[in-house]
């Protein structure tokens, strides 16, 4: 006998569940009110009784704090329950454990657990619960899941998916498959939001393996464009917060994200999954704060812009040199060289009678080699003084002690980070590899090695409280930056990215390179691409073929390549495309240019013809829905219903880095893509014979 066999029965059951949830909400409201009343009573009592004895005050204080904490708990529960009212559950499996006397049990799966205290049953299971994993991993028939007490085997006899919105069941699908294709197609065909959304109802099996991987201490996800890397990494965080409850909370997690826009864009996923937003930072912030924010430096965005707008072979060479794994080895050798040669010891005359010999000082520098070099002076001084006192039976004054410490510090030639860093290039025989810009501004590639040397000399900060580190866009960070991360954060890590989307082709890292830096790590691949229609994906594959990529078959319009007579006509054409977009069903349009300068120029021109266009610069911090004009670099990680890529001529897009930018731009499109140009089309775009001739004729 199947529980709730028909759709009608399921609908009635949904109503019952909603009633129970509503009752529970009413009870929590009562409970909140009781807590508020008690707190008020305590407050009144304290106000109206001036001579209360200290014991009573203390006990009352404890009671207030207690009520407060309980009250907050109840409020959290209330928030969760109100969310459940909208979509109580999205899936169901019927499972019978292979054990005598066990019955088939329907398991309803939602974003949160719902336990009914009256019937003492779990009416809804959290999607992260062990039993729920079968929903994502198994088809009908034999199934198993890993419970805290071991693997549980059984038979899965039914699998349903529901679409419930605002407490109303729109439809249900019964399926033997893992996640039914129709539901996935519906989700993928929906319009883009101003924030990344959760995908809990349609997580795919290969994605679930990554989310629930608790074994890997360093998990490296290499995934093709639109494969759900970022979404999956965030779901993984939500999963770990659930599975390791008590050991880890959201404030113990740190996300290293490429920029503020991206951080804003992904900020909704965890709250949607019922978790707090987690702290976020950027690689630049980490590196600069190691150096006490003392140096002016070209930021990563400026480095990319320079590579796109005015690349010089020297600049490229400097970036390449400092981004190789070999460079880290060289720095390590140099640190050893500092250790062996930077202390130029001399005799120190403490007073008329006592002189500390140079050789003795040198010996102490070596003796304390477990301390970072700049941290040894104090300990060496203490030790030397102690030895003096024992051997010659005399005591030194504080002034003499201070003098000795000062003298030892002076003997060390590595007290200035920048000088040491410059020395490195002399030592390596590559003085041309270091160049500062106007006003002593450092190049971006120098920030990490400088910080690395600083840490080697000064010592690493105490153990970081971060328990899980998430690094997105992993390909953009060179090995030296990972080396620093490894030393700063010893915790578990999830690192994700796609080498094909590097905006830093002269300094990018592959999954394999990253694993080498950490000397460990599990690489998991995501090959299915979900974001774009089949036609758009085929187009992007012509720009940068990736044999790993497997598109999800969802059809849409063919991308269009529009040729114009000149740049003015191109602007007119884009204005026309914008007005067509405004009349369409789509909600977001990204006009993605190669550089920020180009984006700004086009934005200025377009704004003469049309309004409500937002220019997103590297300084922006919030992502907005609507018509956005931006650079490829800023668009990384984002997505739009429709994308227009202007100026795709062979002058604008001609180098390897230009190709990366073009690839990033076109892979942002979900449903519609138009590429415009005047002059000759760039060689990276394949003009397919299926294109209508009107698409190519000059307009």
Query: Using the rule CB under 6 A, which residue among 154, 228, 274, 521 binds ligand ATP?
Result: 228
CB 584 → ligand ATP: shortest distance, Å?
Answer: 19
Task: Choose the binding region for ligand ATP from 218-226, 298-306, 399-407, 677-685 (rule: CB under 6 A).
Answer: 218-226
Nearer to ligand ATP among residue 496 and residue 603 (C-beta): 496
Nearer to ligand ATP among residue 90 and residue 482 (C-beta): 90
Nearer to ligand ATP among residue 207 and residue 674 (C-beta): 207
E-only strand ranges, 430-475: 468-471
First to last CA, the chain: 66
Site for ligand ATP in 587-646 (CB under 6 A): 637, 639
Residue of 188, 203, 205, 198 lying closest to 274 (CA atoms): 198
What 8-state DSSP symbol labels residue 436? -
Task: Choose the binding region for ligand ATP from 85-93, 104-112, 182-190, 338-346 (rule: CB under 6 A).
Answer: 182-190
Is 91 assigned to a binding site?
no
Residues with Cβ within 8 Å of residue 397, at least 6 apart in sequence? none
CB 474 → ligand ATP: shortest distance, Å?
Answer: 10
Nearer to ligand ATP among residue 74 and residue 225 (C-beta): 225
Is 459 assigned to a binding site?
no
226 binds ligand ATP (CB under 6 A): yes
Q: In whole angstroms, give the CA distance from residue 479 to residue 485.
A: 10
Query: Using the rule CB under 6 A, which residue among 17, 21, 134, 203 binds ligand ATP?
Result: 203
State the number of binding residues for ligand ATP (CB under 6 A). Answer: 23
Residue 336, H or E segment? helix 325-341
Q: Tokens 């007119």 correspond to what residue?
A: 572
CB 228 → ligand ATP: shortest distance, Å?
Answer: 3
Query: Using the rule CB under 6 A, which residue among 35, 67, 128, 229 binds ligand ATP?
Result: 229
Task: Choose the binding region for ligand ATP from 85-93, 202-210, 290-298, 512-520 (rule: CB under 6 A).
Answer: 202-210
Nearer to ligand ATP among residue 228 and residue 449 (C-beta): 228
CB 64 → ligand ATP: shortest distance, Å?
Answer: 44
Residues with Cβ within 8 Å of residue 254, at least 6 apart in sequence? 278, 279, 280, 281, 466, 468, 469, 470, 489
Task: Enter the tokens of residue 187.
Answer: 């989700």
Binding mask 133-172 for ligand ATP (x = CB under 6 A): ----------------------------------------
Q: In whole angstroms, give the CA distance from residue 192 to residue 531.
A: 10
Residue 85, H or E segment? helix 54-86
Binding mask 512-531 for ligand ATP (x = CB under 6 A): ------------------xx
Nearer to ligand ATP among residue 24 and residue 632 (C-beta): 632
Query: Using the rule CB under 6 A, which residue among 305, 631, 667, 674 binds ligand ATP?
Result: 667
Nearer to ligand ATP among residue 255 and residue 606 (C-beta): 255
CB 365 → ligand ATP: shortest distance, Å?
Answer: 49
Is 227 assigned to a binding site?
yes
Task: Enter the tokens of residue 448.
Answer: 């990490």
- Hey, CA dihedral for 54, 60, 61, 62, is it positive or negative? positive
E-only strand ranges, 404-449: none
Is 225 assigned to a binding site?
yes
Task: Enter the tokens of residue 143.
Answer: 């199934």
Evaluate whether 88 touches 21 at the Cβ level (below 8 Å): yes
Residue of 152, 154, 81 lying closest to 123 (CA atoms): 81
Is 133 assigned to a binding site?
no
Report DSSP letters for 183-230, one per residue: HHHHHHHSPPPSS----GGG--HHHHHHHT--S-SEEEEEE-TTSSHH
Is 224 assigned to a binding site?
yes
Task: Choose the binding region for ligand ATP from 45-53, 229-237, 306-314, 358-366 (rule: CB under 6 A).
Answer: 229-237
Q: In whole angstroms, give the CA distance from residue 550 to residue 264.
A: 29
Is 396 assigned to a binding site?
no
Is 230 assigned to a binding site?
yes
Task: Choose the binding region for ligand ATP from 87-95, 222-230, 399-407, 482-490 (rule: CB under 6 A).
Answer: 222-230
Q: Which residue is nearest to ligand ATP (CB)?
A: 228
Query: Using the rule CB under 6 A, which residue among 132, 207, 533, 540 binds ligand ATP?
Result: 207
662 binds ligand ATP (CB under 6 A): no
DSSP-derived 3-state class of residue 315? helix
CA dihedral 630, 634, 636, 642 (to 10 degrees): -20
CB 630 → ligand ATP: shortest distance, Å?
Answer: 14
| Alpha carbon distances (Å) from 402 to 78, 367, 489, 634 | 62, 20, 35, 53
Residue of 684, 622, 605, 620 lying closest to 652 (CA atoms): 684
Nearer to ligand ATP among residue 202 and residue 541 (C-beta): 202
CB 177 → ligand ATP: shortest distance, Å?
Answer: 13
- Contacts by 307-310, CB closer than 8 A, 24 or more apart: 307/506, 307/657, 308/594, 308/595, 308/657, 308/658, 308/661, 309/595, 309/597
188 binds ligand ATP (CB under 6 A): yes
- Hey, CA dihedral for 306, 312, 316, 317, is it positive or negative? negative
CB 27 → ligand ATP: shortest distance, Å?
Answer: 35
498 binds ligand ATP (CB under 6 A): yes
Residue positions forming the annotated binding site for ATP: 223-230
Sites of contact with ligand ATP (CB under 6 A): 184, 187-188, 199, 202-204, 207, 223, 225-231, 498, 501, 530-531, 637, 639, 667
Residue positions forming the annotated binding site: 223-230
């Amino acid at each position: 006998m199947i529980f709730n066999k028909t759709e009608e029965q399921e609908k009635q059951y949904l109503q019952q569940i909603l009633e129970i949830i509503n009752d529970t909400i009413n009870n929590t409201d009562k409970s909140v009110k009781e807590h508020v009343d008690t707190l008020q009573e305590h407050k009144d009592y304290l106000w109206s009784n001036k001579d209360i004895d200290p014991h009573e005050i203390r006990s009352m204080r404890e009671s207030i704090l207690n009520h407060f904490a309980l009250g907050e708990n109840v409020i959290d529960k209330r928030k969760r329950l109100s969310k459940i009212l909208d979509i109580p559950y999205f899936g169901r499996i019927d499972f019978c454990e292979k054990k005598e006397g066990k019955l088939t049990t329907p398991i309803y799966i939602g974003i949160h657990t719902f336990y009914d205290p009256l019937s003492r049953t779990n009416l809804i299971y959290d999607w992260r619960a062990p039993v729920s994993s079968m929903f994502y991993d198994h088809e009908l028939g034999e199934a198993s899941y890993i419970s805290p007490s071991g693997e549980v085997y059984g038979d899965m006899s039914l699998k349903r998916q529901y679409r419930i919105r605002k407490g109303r069941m729109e439809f249900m699908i019964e399926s033997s498959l893992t996640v039914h294709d129709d539901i996935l197609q519906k989700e993928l065909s929906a319009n883009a939001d101003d924030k990344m959304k959760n995908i809990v109802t349609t997580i795919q099996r290969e994605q679930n393996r990554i989310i629930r991987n608790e074994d890997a201490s360093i998990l490296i996800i290499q995934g093709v464009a639109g494969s759900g890397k970022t979404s999956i990494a965030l779901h993984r965080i939500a999963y770990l917060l659930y599975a390791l409850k008590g050991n880890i909370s959201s404030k113990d997690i740190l996300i290293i994200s490429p920029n503020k826009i991206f951080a804003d864009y992904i900020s909704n996923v965890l709250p949607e999954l019922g978790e707090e937003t987690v702290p976020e930072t950027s690689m630049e912030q980490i590196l600069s704060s190691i150096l006490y924010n003392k140096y002016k430096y070209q930021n990563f965005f400026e480095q990319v812009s320079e590579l796109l707008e005015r690349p010089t072979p020297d600049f490229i060479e400097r970036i390449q040199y400092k981004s190789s794994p070999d460079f880290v080895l060289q720095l390590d050798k140099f640190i050893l060289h500092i250790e062996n040669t930077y202390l130029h010891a001399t005799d120190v005359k403490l007073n008329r009678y006592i002189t500390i010999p140079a050789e003795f000082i040198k010996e102490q520098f070596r003796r304390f080699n477990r301390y970072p070099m700049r941290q040894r002076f104090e300990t060496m001084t203490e030790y030397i003084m102690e030895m003096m006192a024992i051997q010659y039976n005399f005591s030194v004054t504080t002034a003499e002690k201070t003098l000795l410490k000062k003298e030892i510090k002076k003997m060390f030639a590595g007290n200035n980070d920048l000088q040491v860093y410059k020395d490195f290039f002399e030592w390596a025989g590559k003085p041309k590899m270091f160049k500062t810009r106007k006003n002593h501004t450092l190049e971006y590639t120098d920030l990490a090695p400088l910080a690395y040397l600083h840490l080697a000399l000064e010592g690493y900060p105490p153990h970081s409280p971060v328990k899980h580190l998430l690094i997105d866009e992993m390909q953009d960070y060179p090995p030296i930056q990972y080396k620093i991360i490894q030393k700063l954060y010893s915790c578990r890590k999830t690192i994700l990215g796609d080498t094909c989307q590097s905006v830093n082709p002269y300094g990018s890292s592959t999954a394999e390179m990253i694993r080498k830096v950490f000397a460990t790590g599990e690489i998991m691949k995501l090959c299915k691409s979900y974001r774009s229609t089949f036609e758009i994906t085929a187009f992007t594959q012509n720009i940068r073929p990736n044999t790993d990529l497997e598109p999800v078959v969802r059809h849409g319009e063919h991308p269009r390549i529009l040729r114009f007579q000149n740049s003015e006509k191109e602007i007119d054409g884009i204005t026309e495309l914008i007005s067509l977009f405004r009349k369409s069903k789509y909600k977001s349009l990204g006009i993605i240019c190669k550089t920020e300068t180009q984006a700004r120029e086009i934005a200025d021109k377009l704004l003469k013809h049309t309004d409500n266009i937002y220019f997103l610069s590297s300084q922006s911090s919030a992502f907005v829905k609507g018509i956005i004009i931006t650079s490829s670099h800023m668009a990384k990680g984002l997505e739009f219903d429709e994308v227009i890529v202007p100026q795709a001529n062979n002058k604008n897009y001609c180098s390897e880095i230009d190709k990366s930018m073009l690839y990033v731009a076109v892979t942002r499109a979900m449903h519609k893509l138009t590429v415009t140009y005047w002059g000759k089309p760039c060689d990276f775009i394949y003009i397919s014979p299926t294109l209508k001739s009107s698409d190519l004729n000059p307009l």
